[in-house]
Amino acid sequence: MILTPTLKIKLVCPIPNKPFSETLDVFGDTRAACAALARKDKTLARALDAISEPHIRRRPGGFEALFRIIVEQQVSVPSAQAIWARCQAGMECHSPASALCLGEDELRKFGLSTPKARYVIALAEAWSGGAIDERALSQMSDEDAAKALQQIKGIGPWTAAIYLLFCEGRVDIWPRGDVALLGAYNAARLRGPRPDMKQFDARAEKWAPYRGVAAHILWTYYAHIRGRTPI
């Protein structure tokens, strides 16, 4: 994982095409965002007290990043890590041509399900054909960038959100339906009924314009309560 605290990321407003004038170095100092979130939600404040600060996940963008996120869809962290390690050992994960050369059958041998193998092939075809322009993607609003990514088979709202959070450092993206985030939030909640996924995603709307930072807080807290090092 590459950590570069000097990169400045534009804070994107939840209303498309109306950016905030301020900037947030999400890969560096998130103290102001964390303080704002702690004031908004006592459960987030409790999670922050336990972890001190969020571990901000960062990955280089591109084909390999989306490939890896597809591998991580709906599986545990250890399972995803094992499958990804086999992919790295058996092919050039940064290369769409490598995936196309192997084909679905060989990709399945690394542990990918049949649908995921098809998604990787669809991604490789789209990438090779120029369907994704990384530079243009980085200039789009959150909503437009997510829509552009979701034009590719196998990339849904969660996958698009993870890419925009980890690879572009977007600050106000929320990965709806993330089980780990819900588990972390409910673990930090001391009193009152625990929200289900639908209620939780609705509650996250109140954490704008720092919903992405809230996600990093809860992922870090999830690792903390499970005795793991954040990845």
Asked: is 9-57+173-225 a CATH 1.10.1670.40 domain? The reply is: yes
Least confident segment among 13-27, 86-100, 120-134, 209-223: 13-27
* Coil, helix or strand at residue 164: helix
- Give the model confidence (pLDDT) of 170-214 as tens digits: 999 999 999 999 999 999 999 889 999 999 999 999 999 999 999
- The dotted CATH code for 63-166 is 1.10.340.30
Q: Average pLDDT, whole number, for the chain?
A: 89
**pLDDT at position 141 over 90:** yes
Cα angle 150-151-154, degrees, rounded to a multiple of 5: 60
Query: For the chain, which residues make up each domain, given as ranges?
Result: 9-57+173-225, 63-166
Q: Percentage of the chain surpassing pLDDT 90?
A: 81
Distance (Å, rounded) from C-alpha 220 to C-alpha 185? 11
DSSP at 169: -
Integer CA distances (angstroms), 120 to 30, 68, 170, 194, in order: 34, 9, 24, 36
Question: Do the two domains 9-57+173-225 and 63-166 of this chain adopt the same fold?
Answer: no
Residue 32, pLDDT above cutoff 50: yes
Task: Quote the tokens at residue 158.
Answer: 């969660």
Amino acid, single-letter form, for residue 229: T
pLDDT at 73: 95
CB-based contacts of 48: which residues, under 8 Å, 6+ apart?
Answer: 34, 37, 38, 54, 217
9: nearest Cα among 30, 20, 25: 25
- What is the tens place of the pLDDT at every residue in 36-69? 999 999 999 999 999 999 999 999 999 999 999 9
Q: Per-residue pLDDT tens for 74-109?
A: 999 899 999 999 999 999 999 999 999 999 999 999
pTM of the model: 0.86
